[in-house]
Protein backbone atom coordinates (compact mmCIF):
# COMPACT_ATOMS: atom_id res chain seq x y z
CA UNK A 1 0.00 0.00 0.00
CA UNK A 2 1.32 3.36 -1.01
CA UNK A 3 0.76 6.62 0.82
CA UNK A 4 0.85 9.81 -1.16
CA UNK A 5 1.02 13.33 0.09
CA UNK A 6 0.94 16.61 -1.74
CA UNK A 7 2.76 19.89 -1.47
CA UNK A 8 6.12 18.78 -0.28
CA UNK A 9 5.37 15.54 1.50
CA UNK A 10 7.28 12.40 0.56
CA UNK A 11 5.81 9.47 -1.31
CA UNK A 12 6.54 6.26 0.59
CA UNK A 13 5.54 2.68 0.19
CA UNK A 14 3.80 0.63 2.73
CA UNK A 15 6.97 -0.73 4.18
CA UNK A 16 8.23 2.79 5.11
CA UNK A 17 10.87 3.03 2.40
CA UNK A 18 12.80 6.24 1.66
CA UNK A 19 11.03 8.87 -0.44
CA UNK A 20 11.16 8.34 -4.14
CA UNK A 21 10.73 11.95 -5.28
CA UNK A 22 11.27 15.22 -3.38
CA UNK A 23 8.71 17.76 -4.55
CA UNK A 24 9.88 20.68 -2.31
CA UNK A 25 11.11 23.60 -4.46
CA UNK A 26 14.59 24.82 -3.52
CA UNK A 27 16.33 28.16 -4.47
CA UNK A 28 19.68 27.73 -6.20
CA UNK A 29 22.53 29.51 -4.33
CA UNK A 30 24.17 30.60 -7.59
CA UNK A 31 21.02 32.39 -8.63
CA UNK A 32 20.89 34.22 -5.32
CA UNK A 33 24.51 35.32 -5.82
CA UNK A 34 23.73 36.61 -9.31
CA UNK A 35 20.75 38.49 -7.95
CA UNK A 36 22.95 40.10 -5.30
CA UNK A 37 25.47 41.13 -7.95
CA UNK A 38 22.74 42.59 -10.10
CA UNK A 39 21.44 44.52 -7.14
CA UNK A 40 24.93 46.06 -6.73
CA UNK A 41 25.46 46.82 -10.45
CA UNK A 42 23.66 50.20 -10.42
CA UNK A 43 26.16 51.56 -7.88
CA UNK A 44 29.15 50.22 -9.78
CA UNK A 45 27.80 51.58 -13.03
CA UNK A 46 27.34 55.00 -11.45
CA UNK A 47 30.90 54.99 -10.17
CA UNK A 48 32.21 53.93 -13.57
CA UNK A 49 30.20 56.68 -15.25
CA UNK A 50 31.55 59.30 -12.82
CA UNK A 51 35.10 58.06 -13.52
CA UNK A 52 34.54 58.47 -17.25
CA UNK A 53 33.17 61.99 -16.72
CA UNK A 54 36.20 62.95 -14.60
CA UNK A 55 38.58 61.56 -17.23
CA UNK A 56 36.84 63.57 -19.94
CA UNK A 57 36.95 66.73 -17.82
CA UNK A 58 40.66 66.16 -17.11
CA UNK A 59 41.32 65.80 -20.83
CA UNK A 60 39.48 69.08 -21.46
CA UNK A 61 41.48 70.87 -18.75
CA UNK A 62 44.74 69.51 -20.15
CA UNK A 63 43.79 70.73 -23.60
CA UNK A 64 42.97 74.19 -22.26
CA UNK A 65 46.28 74.29 -20.35
CA UNK A 66 48.27 73.32 -23.43
CA UNK A 67 46.47 75.99 -25.44
CA UNK A 68 47.27 78.64 -22.82
CA UNK A 69 50.95 77.58 -22.73
CA UNK A 70 51.10 77.87 -26.51
CA UNK A 71 49.51 81.34 -26.42
CA UNK A 72 51.91 82.56 -23.71
CA UNK A 73 54.88 81.23 -25.66
CA UNK A 74 53.66 82.92 -28.84
CA UNK A 75 53.09 86.23 -27.04
CA UNK A 76 56.57 86.00 -25.50
CA UNK A 77 58.15 85.49 -28.93
CA UNK A 78 56.16 88.37 -30.38
CA UNK A 79 57.14 90.63 -27.48
CA UNK A 80 60.81 89.74 -27.91
CA UNK A 81 60.61 90.56 -31.61
CA UNK A 82 59.04 93.90 -30.75
CA UNK A 83 61.81 94.67 -28.27
CA UNK A 84 64.42 93.85 -30.90
CA UNK A 85 62.65 95.98 -33.48
CA UNK A 86 62.33 98.90 -31.05
CA UNK A 87 66.01 98.64 -30.17
CA UNK A 88 66.97 98.66 -33.86
CA UNK A 89 64.68 101.59 -34.65
CA UNK A 90 65.96 103.55 -31.68
CA UNK A 91 69.53 103.07 -32.84
CA UNK A 92 68.58 104.17 -36.36
CA UNK A 93 66.88 107.28 -35.01
CA UNK A 94 69.92 108.12 -32.91
CA UNK A 95 72.14 107.71 -35.95
CA UNK A 96 69.86 110.04 -37.92
CA UNK A 97 70.00 112.61 -35.14
CA UNK A 98 73.80 112.43 -35.06
CA UNK A 99 74.02 112.76 -38.83
CA UNK A 100 71.70 115.76 -38.76
CA UNK A 101 73.74 117.44 -36.04
CA UNK A 102 76.99 116.82 -37.91
CA UNK A 103 75.47 118.12 -41.14
CA UNK A 104 74.27 121.33 -39.50
CA UNK A 105 77.40 121.79 -37.41
CA UNK A 106 78.86 124.45 -39.77
CA UNK A 107 75.67 126.49 -39.75
CA UNK A 108 74.75 126.36 -36.07
CA UNK A 109 77.44 126.85 -33.44
CA UNK A 110 77.61 124.02 -30.88
CA UNK A 111 76.07 124.57 -27.48
CA UNK A 112 78.47 125.05 -24.60
CA UNK A 113 79.00 121.99 -22.42
CA UNK A 114 77.14 121.74 -19.16
CA UNK A 115 79.47 122.36 -16.24
CA UNK A 116 78.74 120.93 -12.82
CA UNK A 117 78.70 123.86 -10.36
CA UNK A 118 78.93 121.58 -7.31
CA UNK A 119 82.16 119.85 -8.32
CA UNK A 120 80.91 116.52 -6.93
CA UNK A 121 81.02 113.08 -8.50
CA UNK A 122 77.26 112.82 -8.67
CA UNK A 123 76.90 116.29 -10.13
CA UNK A 124 79.54 115.60 -12.80
CA UNK A 125 77.86 112.35 -13.77
CA UNK A 126 74.42 113.95 -13.97
CA UNK A 127 75.83 116.75 -16.10
CA UNK A 128 77.31 114.26 -18.57
CA UNK A 129 74.12 112.24 -18.64
CA UNK A 130 72.09 115.39 -19.27
CA UNK A 131 74.13 115.96 -22.43
CA UNK A 132 73.19 112.46 -23.55
CA UNK A 133 69.51 113.15 -22.89
CA UNK A 134 69.80 116.31 -24.99
CA UNK A 135 71.38 114.26 -27.80
CA UNK A 136 74.56 116.28 -27.65
CA UNK A 137 76.53 113.10 -28.20
CA UNK A 138 79.95 114.61 -28.91
CA UNK A 139 79.78 116.79 -25.78
CA UNK A 140 78.51 113.84 -23.77
CA UNK A 141 81.47 111.70 -24.87
CA UNK A 142 83.89 114.40 -23.79
CA UNK A 143 82.06 114.81 -20.46
CA UNK A 144 82.04 111.09 -19.68
CA UNK A 145 85.71 110.75 -20.63
CA UNK A 146 86.53 113.62 -18.28
CA UNK A 147 84.39 112.09 -15.55
CA UNK A 148 86.34 108.82 -15.76
CA UNK A 149 89.64 110.69 -15.53
CA UNK A 150 88.48 112.60 -12.45
CA UNK A 151 86.75 109.65 -10.75
CA UNK A 152 88.51 106.44 -11.90
CA UNK A 153 87.17 104.56 -8.88
CA UNK A 154 83.92 106.44 -8.54
CA UNK A 155 80.50 105.03 -7.78
CA UNK A 156 79.15 105.93 -11.23
CA UNK A 157 82.29 105.12 -13.23
CA UNK A 158 80.88 101.77 -14.50
CA UNK A 159 77.80 103.63 -15.72
CA UNK A 160 80.02 106.21 -17.41
CA UNK A 161 81.86 103.46 -19.32
CA UNK A 162 78.54 101.92 -20.33
CA UNK A 163 77.11 105.20 -21.65
CA UNK A 164 80.33 105.86 -23.52
CA UNK A 165 79.75 102.53 -25.24
CA UNK A 166 76.20 103.55 -26.11
CA UNK A 167 77.34 106.94 -27.43
CA UNK A 168 80.10 105.46 -29.58
CA UNK A 169 77.64 102.84 -30.83
CA UNK A 170 75.13 105.54 -31.74
CA UNK A 171 77.80 107.43 -33.69
CA UNK A 172 78.90 104.21 -35.44
CA UNK A 173 82.33 104.10 -33.80
CA UNK A 174 82.08 100.37 -33.21
CA UNK A 175 85.63 99.84 -32.00
CA UNK A 176 85.39 102.48 -29.27
CA UNK A 177 81.97 101.14 -28.36
CA UNK A 178 83.49 97.69 -27.99
CA UNK A 179 86.30 99.00 -25.80
CA UNK A 180 83.88 100.83 -23.51
CA UNK A 181 81.56 97.84 -23.05
CA UNK A 182 84.55 95.57 -22.41
CA UNK A 183 85.64 97.89 -19.57
CA UNK A 184 82.27 97.39 -17.87
CA UNK A 185 82.41 93.59 -18.17
CA UNK A 186 86.09 93.26 -17.24
CA UNK A 187 86.51 95.82 -14.47
CA UNK A 188 83.07 95.55 -12.86
CA UNK A 189 81.86 91.94 -13.33
CA UNK A 190 79.24 92.24 -10.56
CA UNK A 191 77.78 95.55 -11.65
CA UNK A 192 74.14 95.88 -12.70
CA UNK A 193 75.17 97.14 -16.15
CA UNK A 194 77.06 93.93 -17.01
CA UNK A 195 74.09 92.09 -18.63
CA UNK A 196 73.38 95.09 -20.88
CA UNK A 197 77.07 95.47 -21.72
CA UNK A 198 77.33 91.78 -22.65
CA UNK A 199 74.28 92.07 -24.89
CA UNK A 200 75.71 95.18 -26.57
CA UNK A 201 79.04 93.43 -27.07
CA UNK A 202 77.23 90.62 -28.85
CA UNK A 203 75.65 93.15 -31.20
CA UNK A 204 78.87 95.10 -31.72
CA UNK A 205 80.90 91.98 -32.53
CA UNK A 206 78.19 90.89 -34.97
CA UNK A 207 78.37 94.29 -36.67
CA UNK A 208 82.15 94.01 -36.77
CA UNK A 209 81.79 90.68 -38.57
CA UNK A 210 82.96 88.42 -35.73
CA UNK A 211 79.98 86.09 -35.42
CA UNK A 212 81.83 83.62 -33.17
CA UNK A 213 82.44 86.18 -30.43
CA UNK A 214 79.01 87.65 -31.01
CA UNK A 215 77.43 84.27 -30.33
CA UNK A 216 79.66 83.77 -27.28
CA UNK A 217 78.56 87.03 -25.64
CA UNK A 218 74.90 86.52 -26.47
CA UNK A 219 75.01 82.98 -25.06
CA UNK A 220 76.52 84.34 -21.85
CA UNK A 221 73.60 86.70 -21.49
CA UNK A 222 71.04 83.99 -22.26
CA UNK A 223 72.61 81.53 -19.81
CA UNK A 224 73.53 83.82 -16.91
CA UNK A 225 71.02 86.66 -17.13
CA UNK A 226 67.51 85.38 -17.85
CA UNK A 227 64.85 88.01 -18.12
CA UNK A 228 64.35 90.95 -20.43
CA UNK A 229 67.99 91.27 -21.50
CA UNK A 230 68.31 87.50 -21.90
CA UNK A 231 65.19 87.44 -24.07
CA UNK A 232 66.58 90.25 -26.20
CA UNK A 233 69.83 88.34 -26.68
CA UNK A 234 67.92 85.19 -27.60
CA UNK A 235 65.80 87.06 -30.16
CA UNK A 236 68.81 88.81 -31.66
CA UNK A 237 70.75 85.56 -31.98
CA UNK A 238 67.77 83.81 -33.56
CA UNK A 239 67.28 86.60 -36.09
CA UNK A 240 70.86 87.46 -37.06
CA UNK A 241 73.16 84.55 -36.15
Residue by residue, pLDDT tens for the chain (241 residues) are: 444 444 444 444 444 444 444 444 444 444 444 445 445 577 787 787 777 778 777 777 777 777 677 677 676 666 666 656 555 555 555 554 444 443 343 333 344 444 455 579 999 999 999 999 899 999 999 999 999 999 999 999 999 999 999 999 999 999 999 999 999 999 999 999 999 999 999 999 999 999 999 999 999 999 999 999 999 999 999 999 9
pTM over 0.85: no
- pLDDT for res 111: 40
Exposed/middle/buried for residue 103 (C-beta within 10 Å: 0-12, 13-18, 19+) = exposed
- pLDDT for res 52: 77
- pLDDT for res 218: 97
Q: What is the signed CA dihedral for 191, 215, 148, 173, rounded to 10 degrees?
A: -150
What is the Cα–Cα distance from 203 to 195, expressed in whole angstroms? 13
- pLDDT for res 49: 76
What is the Cα–Cα distance from 148 to 150, expressed in whole angstroms? 5
Contact by Cβ (8 Å): 174, 208: yes
- pLDDT for res 71: 74
Ramachandran quadrant class, 135 (left: phi over 0; alpha: psi -120 to 50; beta: rest): left
What is the Cα–Cα distance from 18 to 7, expressed in whole angstroms? 17
CATH architecture of 121-240: Alpha Horseshoe (1.25)
Boundaries of every domain in the chain: 121-240
12 three-class SS: strand
- pLDDT for res 85: 59
Q: Give the chain's length.
A: 241
Q: Give me the phi and psi of 173, to 5 degrees please.
A: -95, 80
> With the C-alpha atoms ordered 146, 214, 199, 194, is the resulting torsion angle positive or negative?
negative
What is the Cα–Cα distance from 143 to 163, expressed in whole angstroms? 11
Amino acid sequence: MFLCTLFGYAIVDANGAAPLVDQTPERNSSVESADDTESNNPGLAALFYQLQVLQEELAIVRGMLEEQIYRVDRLTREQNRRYTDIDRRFRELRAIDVATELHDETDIPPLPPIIDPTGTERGSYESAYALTSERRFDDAIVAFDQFIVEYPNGQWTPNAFYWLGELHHATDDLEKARQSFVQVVTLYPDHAKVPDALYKLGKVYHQLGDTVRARDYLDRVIKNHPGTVGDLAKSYAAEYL
